[in-house]
Structure 1
Amino acid sequence: MAYTEKIKSLFGSFALFIASHPWKFCLIGFLINGFLGLGMLNLPRKHLLNNNIEDVYMPRDTETEKMAQEILKKFPEHSKDAFYHHQSIQQPLFAELVIWEQNKESIINESFHEILSSLIEEIKNLSFTSVDGNDSNFYDICTRRNDKCVVSGETIIDNLKDSKDGTIPVKSLMPKNTTILENPLFQLADYQVANDTLVTATYLRIRYNLCHDTPKQAENAGKWMDRFVSQMKESTEKLHSKNLIFAFSNSKSFLEEIGNDTFTDIPYFSFVFTVYLIYIGFTMSGGNILAKRAHIGRMGVIVTPTSVLGAWGILMACKVEFTNVLGITPVLIVCHQIINTMITLSHLADANDISDGKKRVAYAVRMSSIPITVTMMCYMIPFATAIVSKYYAVELVGIYMVTTILFNYVNHFVFYTACLAIHEQRIDAGRHCCICIKLRTREELEGRNCCIICCCSGSRPNSRTDTESSIEKLTRIIMLRVLLTTPVKIIAFVSLLVLVGSTLFGLVNVNIDVFQKNEVLPTSYFYNWNEVVDEQFKYRPIIQFVTYHPSGYLNDSSSVLELKQKLVDKQQNLLSWSDVYRDKNYPNASSESDLYKSIKNDFFKKEAAFVNDIYFDESRSVITASRFYIQSKDIVSSKELISLKHDLLCIAEKFDDILKDKYQNFNKKFLPISSDTDIGFIQVHSPDFFQIDDFLRPLWEILIFTGTQLGILFLLFLLLKPSIRFLLLLLITYILMTMSIFGISNFVGVYLTQVSLIMYLVAGCFCVDIIVHIFYAFSQAPCDNKAGCLNTVLSSSIQSVFHAVFGLFLGILVLFVVHSYVFVTVFRISILTYSICILFTILWIPSVFSIVGPVDSTSQPETISIYRVENVLDKRQSRSAGGMENPSFEHNSKHE
């Protein structure tokens, strides 16, 4: 195509210009990146490190959050003066203890009263420094009711002093204004009740509820929770000596411990680079003492840290936050850059017959420019879509990835091109690769020690094999002699069918879930608490229903009653002010104003628990909004909670539609529905919904990312190779690679969460690197039949890609010893990604192309065995090395 040749010619001219002033571009490029890197000083100075898992990984602007904000307009939180835990709209803050006797005997024993009472008071008096700088304790931040701190389970401890026979009457556990949703028995596990008497209980749960109505209160609560955790770690031995065992946690512990666990595995992650770079160093160390390319290979690797320095420096100078998960971006970029480096060096090896080093560099840059540009665009544009993600972690990855890949692209074609020019000038000058002194010919050193001859003489390479390392020569021979044999093809197609079948099965049974709480390290205090709570205590979330009544409650009471009857059929407990009003024989109201007066003057004085469940329009003396609650049956997994939420929303939606029709022509200023929200007449909400909100969001973001990547890939190759067969192969390969990684990850225990989402995005980029370089090499291979193309590409691009990915595969094996959830997820998806990429690179793609390759034969077909040799004479009478045509006649005509 004419335009592709113009693009390559433009890059060639640019490289020729840089090669004329290599030291200037090399030093200026490095200094600019180093200067920009000074912005990284803002990381500690501006406190840009953010490892708050809740802030970084939880979705933003979710439907549950919007619903909570709408409900708060009518029913604000009253945790400071009238706290009832079932009325909570925001996620509650608390610290919790679970206590049991060492021999698992009943804890309902008078002897434990003094111990537990003193423990309760000791915890209440834990002091901390508030955000205002004052000394504070639990009494300053606790939730209150009737001017008393609300500590769930404290009533049971108070009654232990009278349990001389090891029993407690259930009625004595129920203080005034306690609702059915606050049954103290919920704080016990493995208990028995006989004749309305608690006769035994093994586990007691004590919860310290903390005020969180304002951001300041929430921040103070967080400070006290930290103090609570540190104190309980110190109190372990003291309680154990009194035959009591306990586990403790707080509402932030899980996310905090997930974040803290990553610090234990960061040193292992650093070894990934060490192993990877050692392997790549050996791979790129070919050539004699003059042509040795180890140093120029290292400069190709240095492009990545140089780019990271410049990109991250400018971002941190702009005060963009940083988080631990961004540590995966250099791994992706360095692999991408090593592929770019090896592809460029591969083309440079084809230009050995050009006498001018500048023109050799220009040729290498010209030939590698298009695939490198294509991969860069297939990275940048999809990651640009990730910047608008609902997850802050994904947004940060998108910002850092787009900036870093752009810097890496520029540095590759400027900084690295200058390094290539310096390298080639040294070869032309016949200077030593390390000490840069002038080398002598072997003839001049004839008769000297063999070591002196090896280290002090060298010649300019004449063929590809002169610059290949031993590893490259070995893998090339194996690829050419083994991969294209009939048995290997049969193995390839059978294994491909197995892969497709496994992928489909994995996709059907994919696990979508929030963070797995059992992934916290066993050494964590949260792990112990979570095990006890999961095994012994039932999880029964409370869901609140808010109903709006534009013309008053009585006008909609029949619909609300019908809705409650539907819900009672599915759930255990229902708490409603209207049911209490009816059951306790308050006067029947014949009008809205009568109901208004009765509730205001009588009902609220006797039933304080419902004061915050009714919203009045004072001007019209009517109830315009109210709420009631249900307690669900036992929930054992996130999937069950998701299913419950869906069922309740479906029930509410049917009644909401009835009310919408009813009030279609009502005065709009009294309606809850607005044009910019989906809020209706019936709202369903629970703080527990925050943890499952947008549970499908990771899947949608993966589809958006991969869909964008696939679209860019298709459009670019449509311009480069407008062949239907070629494009279909490309699309099928990308889809199969990404779907395989996603589907098979189900078999290695990976759930679709916010952490795995990031790794799936990274996996898509590895697939792009493989596909672009191999498919582009096939489309440009200078041969007339499939066999020749296969051997040409196997000897060059496939080998380069294989070594880059295989080295990363060896490096990531280091993470086999990690334990933290984040790094375990990184390891599992990474090892799967690299394995699939390697198999596609050397097995499946070559096998498919050997049958349905893009090159149409223009001559008599030749057997592959003819090409399975190290050197082949092409019909064009040009020299070949390892099946790769040496296009010297093109160099002479174009550059000399």
Structure 2
Amino acid sequence: MSKTTRGKQLLESFYTIYGKKVAAHPWKCILLSIVVNGVLGLGIYFRLTLNNDVQYLYIPENTMSLIHRAKIDSTFSDESGNNFWPHTMSHPLRYGEVILFPKHGSNIFEDGVFENISTVIDTVLNISLSDDGLSYRNMCAIRNEECVIEGIELTTLPFQKSVQSGVVNYTTCNVPACSSRYMTFLGDIIVENETLLSARYIKLRFNLRQSTSYELQRARRWQDAFVNTLKTFKSDILGIAFSSADSTDEEISNESIFDTPFFGLCFTVLITYSNFVTGSGDCVSKRVHLSRAGFLVVPLSVLGSWGLLSWCGVLFTNIIGCMPYVLLALTLGFVFINHMTFFAACLALHEKRVSLNRHCCTCLPVESPDKLKEKGRSRCFICCCSGKEPSSSEELEGNCQTVPRTIISRFALYLPLKTVSGLLYLGYLSVSIWGATKVKFDMLDSKMISPHSYSFLYNKISLEHFDKREYVMFFIDSYVNHSDLVTLQKVSDIISTMKTSNVIDDNFAVNWLDAYGLHKNSSNQQSLITLNQFIEQYQEYKNDVHYSKYGNDNIMASRIYVRTVNLKTSVQAISLYMEIKQLNKMNILPGFAYCSFSNRIESATELQSNMLRPLITAIIALALTSFFLIPQPIICLIVIWTAFSIMLGTFGFLWFWDISLTTISILYVMLTTAYAVEVAVHCCSAFYYVEAIDNQSRVYSSLTRANSPIFTMLFGSTLGLPILLLVRSYVFSTFFKVAILTLAFSAAHTIFFLPMMLSIFGLHIKAPKLPKIVETFTLSTTGTFNDTKHPIISDFTNSRNCDNKFGIVNSAFQEITTL
């Protein structure tokens, strides 16, 4: 006996014994399932913790960027409360930012417009926290004992007059102390002969200190107050767009909460359709209640799985928590367990009721329609109060199930239509492969903002009219003789190497060593000023030098900086990360290059480069599961190929729908594909566990058993998903598009392509005859049992040999578990 046959027999024996136990004790299984899931669900009340921090959710742990940032933080302290310079910050900044523009006209420096800017500034400066009354001046980032408001110098009256007089030279600035960074804080400018004539937009950034955890939390609270205040600000002359450091992340999360009811409506449509499909049959054979029991498995599984995860201390996010489809894939294990206990027990009760010819609602015995006709009962009475045990599964099927099977069988079995299916499949693969090579990876958060969000206008103006530049730091680690000419040359080489990149600005660098050398060469004070005195005199370099803690004036670490060009696309951002990564391999000096923006770049880039890893892992898990259920290698390979083919098609056709590949879309493809491949396993299981004399009849029999419920599930999902066209969040709209693609390709595979492949490549096997899960019930006659509350069980004791139709041939079980 081969290992495959032995494993199959063990699997069959297990399900046979288990099925008998469940059928013999259905109420115990139902009660046990409810109690266990309920007790686990208490963890949701006592231990559920939400965490919507995007840094935690989407940035992998222990990345090289985070390791470098930890090294920088342990060496250089946060000076945002004393000597704040944006380029020295290793963490993302905390701020509130406004963009001001005239509602009528195109020049912000016009007299009637410019004079209203001070009203906005005063409004922001007076924002205070409700609990302690602290205003912006009490928590702002400090430099030279003043709040650092970037762009504020552009709002002064002298500067306005200078612009109107045509004496402002529009030149780039290559030192950190420059007070005329027009390129960063002016938008839609008009320049003539290097003279600034006008600008439509002015940007102001109100920086906040974050040197301690308390100040960081306070800064976040002020950001919230800033947003709430400016939401109510009105002006007839000035237009205003605003955002805080956390606005993009918060709005992505909040939009998902707003759209949650649409998912409830989507499920309502699916349940209604299921009730319609399973409503065929008479008052005895109706499976509507069984369908509802199948749907109860989902919330019951959610309760148990979420509760267990909460007891284990797992943090949740509302982006995932409010999406039932994704939530269903976070709970697949519990869904399987509850199907094997709760639903299987409900199915056993259903079959017992049917075998006893009891009404689906009253559970009272009823007579067959023929007998009631003989008694002269009315048609209405016969329709509502009669029924009989079905003699075949076809008696329970309506047009929604019989018509698809008839059409599909022709595509799978008739040679001309089978040829058409094969050609269509080859065309599908060709287009999918071509589209997959064209799909782009996008990491711009601004594209995730809904037009209904307050920060949408801000992101739109920023992207179209302002430069987005990031500082790149080179951290010189360990002791290096900074006065050595070799060291000076290596520092110069590092800056030159970084500037060779097409994403680095050639006209900007912050190098304290170079500045110190220039200072000595341009004065006669070489012997009078020391490095310490120079650093104290020029505060913009004070944060860049770290001395030995032993006080011997040895420099233990230092920093130099360059700046990127305008980063408009994800391609540029990824190119920046790759340039940093390449520079760190050169080892010109002990240390590394770092950008505060590189945390997200690295997470997105690593996801792109390692995208195949989770997909391959999912396929391997699928292979092991399918082989456990279907111990036949060729059929398992077909299932695995189906999974790969669906994923390939979904990724490929994302390009045609103008969807860029993101973390969210990859997650959705994997989850929805797993949902779809479950259907493929079901279809192949029906093919394997069927007796037939040849492969053609085997395929037809599998179509008879599997394709009706599969078509019902796919069609029901397709009915519900269009409701998501009404959603406004990027998260849900992306899910809708990915889900539609995945379900469409899943339907094509499981209804057309998969049966066609099985008819060609399927083995000519003779499946063993499976024993019925419940053959007879032997009941003790030593005592009587009477339960008035449950007449199904109490009256069952009067039957000595009840033939139960509960088994693999039962289409109700297949249909509801698929749904």
Measured against the shorter chain, the TM-score band is 0.7 to 0.9
TM-score by length of 2: 0.85
Q: Quick check: 1:511–1:751 contact (8 Å CA) kept in 2? A: yes
Structure 1 residues 712 and 755: CA distance shift in structure 2, 3 A: closer
C-alpha RMSD of matched pairs (Å): 3.2
Aligned to 1:748: 657
Give 1:553 shift.
1.3
| Match runs of 1:778-817 below 5 Å | 778-817=687-726
Give 1:532 shift.
1.4
Aligned to 1:422: 349
Give 1:92 shift.
0.7
Give 1:738 shift.
1.8
User: What CA distance in whole angstroms lies between the structure 1 residues aligned with 2:43 and 2:639?
Assistant: 41
Give 1:637 shift.
0.8
Structure 1 residues 36 and 577: CA distance shift in structure 2, 3 A: closer
1:247 paired to 2:241 = yes
For structure 1, which segment, 106-115 or 740-749, has the greater mean C-alpha deviation from structure 2 after superposition? 106-115
User: What CA distance in whole angstroms lies between the structure 1 residues aligned with 2:27 and 2:627?
Assistant: 39
Aligned to 1:12: 16
Q: Quick check: 2:139–2:219 contact (8 Å CA) kept in 1? A: yes
Structure 1 residues 433 and 179: CA distance shift in structure 2, 3 A: same
| Match runs of 1:488-507 below 5 Å | 488-507=417-436
Aligned to 2:6: 2
User: What CA distance in whole angstroms lies between the structure 2 residues aligned with 1:474 and 1:95?
Assistant: 61
Give 1:721 shift.
5.8
Aligned to 1:365: none
User: What CA distance in whole angstroms lies between the structure 2 residues aligned with 1:176 and 1:479?
Assistant: 70
Aligned to 2:539: 608
User: What CA distance in whole angstroms lies between the structure 1 residues aligned with 2:179 and 2:580?
Assistant: 19
Give 1:833 shift.
0.8
Aligned to 1:209: 207
Aligned to 1:63: 64
Aligned to 1:775: 684
Residue among 307, 313, 320 paired with 2:307: 313
Give 1:15 shift.
2.2
| Match runs of 1:626-705 below 5 Å | 626-654=558-586, 656=587, 658-659=588-589, 681-699=590-608, 702-705=611-614
Give 1:503 shift.
1.6
Give 1:534 shift.
1.4
Give 1:520 shift.
1.4
1:149 paired to 2:81 = no
Aligned to 1:763: 672
Aligned to 2:334: 407
Q: Quick check: 1:18–1:417 contact (8 Å CA) kept in 2? A: yes
Give 1:173 shift.
12
Aligned to 1:673: none
Aligned to 1:285: 279
Q: Quick check: 1:97–1:247 contact (8 Å CA) kept in 2? A: yes
| Match runs of 1:191-590 below 5 Å | 191-192=189-190, 198-236=196-234, 239-240=235-236, 243-318=237-312, 320-327=314-321, 330-331=324-325, 401=330, 404-441=331-368, 442-446=370-374, 447-481=376-410, 483-548=412-477, 550-555=479-484, 556-570=487-501, 571-572=505-506, 573-586=508-521
AA aligned opposite 1:413? M
AA aligned opposite 1:792? S
Give 1:460 shift.
1.7
AA aligned opposite 2:225? R
SS of residue paired to 1:208: strand
Q: Quick check: 2:95–2:205 contact (8 Å CA) kept in 1? A: yes
User: What CA distance in whole angstroms lies between the structure 1 residues aligned with 2:740 and 2:527?
Assistant: 67
Aligned to 1:622: 554
Give 1:719 shift.
6.0
Give 1:474 shift.
2.6
SS of residue paired to 2:273: helix
Structure 1 residues 4 and 727: CA distance shift in structure 2, 3 A: closer
SS of residue paired to 1:783: coil
For structure 1, which segment, 475-484 or 827-836, has the greater mean C-alpha deviation from structure 2 after superposition? 475-484
User: What CA distance in whole angstroms lies between the structure 2 residues aligned with 1:221 and 1:822?
Assistant: 27
For these two proteins, the number of residue pairs brought into alignment is: 758
AA aligned opposite 1:855? H
User: What CA distance in whole angstroms lies between the structure 2 residues aligned with 1:4 and 1:683?
Assistant: 57
User: What CA distance in whole angstroms lies between the structure 2 residues aligned with 1:509 and 1:850?
Assistant: 34
Q: Quick check: 1:519–1:821 contact (8 Å CA) kept in 2? A: yes
Q: Quick check: 2:372–2:382 contact (8 Å CA) kept in 1? A: no
Higher percent of residues as helix: 1
SS of residue paired to 2:520: coil
User: What CA distance in whole angstroms lies between the structure 2 residues aligned with 1:799 and 1:751?
Assistant: 35
Give 1:103 shift.
3.1
Q: Quick check: 1:108–1:160 contact (8 Å CA) kept in 2? A: no
SS of residue paired to 1:585: helix
User: What CA distance in whole angstroms lies between the structure 1 residues aligned with 2:602 and 2:276?
Assistant: 49
User: What CA distance in whole angstroms lies between the structure 2 residues aligned with 1:701 and 1:172?
Assistant: 45
Q: Quick check: 2:320–2:326 contact (8 Å CA) kept in 1? A: no
Post-superposition CA distance 1:174-233 (Å, at most 9, x none): 999952497355311233566876432222111101111222111111111111112112
User: What CA distance in whole angstroms lies between the structure 2 residues aligned with 1:206 and 1:333?
Assistant: 41
SS of residue paired to 1:82: coil
User: What CA distance in whole angstroms lies between the structure 2 residues aligned with 1:80 and 1:455?
Assistant: 79
User: What CA distance in whole angstroms lies between the structure 1 residues aligned with 2:180 and 2:67?
Assistant: 27
Give 1:682 shift.
3.0
Aligned to 2:777: none
AA aligned opposite 2:612? L
SS of residue paired to 2:206: strand
Structure 1 residues 596 and 807: CA distance shift in structure 2, 3 A: farther
User: What CA distance in whole angstroms lies between the structure 2 residues aligned with 1:182 and 1:783?
Assistant: 84
AA aligned opposite 2:333? L
Give 1:821 shift.
0.4
Aligned to 1:179: 177
Structure 1 residues 165 and 154: CA distance shift in structure 2, 3 A: closer
Q: Quick check: 1:257–1:520 contact (8 Å CA) kept in 2? A: yes
User: What CA distance in whole angstroms lies between the structure 2 residues aligned with 1:719 and 1:496?
Assistant: 28
1:834 paired to 2:743 = yes
Q: Quick check: 1:290–1:432 contact (8 Å CA) kept in 2? A: yes
User: What CA distance in whole angstroms lies between the structure 2 residues aligned with 1:432 and 1:234?
Assistant: 62
SS of residue paired to 1:247: strand
User: What CA distance in whole angstroms lies between the structure 1 residues aligned with 2:210 and 2:664?
Assistant: 28
AA aligned opposite 1:622? N
Q: Quick check: 2:263–2:324 contact (8 Å CA) kept in 1? A: no
AA aligned opposite 1:16? K
For structure 1, which segment, 314-323 or 139-148, has the greater mean C-alpha deviation from structure 2 after superposition? 314-323
User: What CA distance in whole angstroms lies between the structure 2 residues aligned with 1:244 and 1:139?
Assistant: 24
Structure 1 residues 700 and 23: CA distance shift in structure 2, 3 A: farther
Q: Quick check: 1:778–1:790 contact (8 Å CA) kept in 2? A: yes
Give 1:856 shift.
6.0
Percent sequence identity over matched residues? Answer: 27
AA aligned opposite 1:71? I
User: What CA distance in whole angstroms lies between the structure 1 residues aligned with 2:173 and 2:446?
Assistant: 34
Post-superposition CA distance 1:582-621 (Å, at most 9, x none): 22235999xxxx99972113x1243221111122235553
User: What CA distance in whole angstroms lies between the structure 2 residues aligned with 1:758 and 1:172?
Assistant: 46
Q: Quick check: 1:154–1:206 contact (8 Å CA) kept in 2? A: yes
Structure 1 residues 517 and 50: CA distance shift in structure 2, 3 A: same
Question: Which consecutive unaligned segments of at least 5 residues does structure 2 have?
Answer: 768-806, 811-819
Aligned to 2:186: 188
Give 1:461 shift.
1.6
Give 1:445 shift.
3.5
Structure 1 residues 451 and 333: CA distance shift in structure 2, 3 A: farther
Aligned to 1:868: none
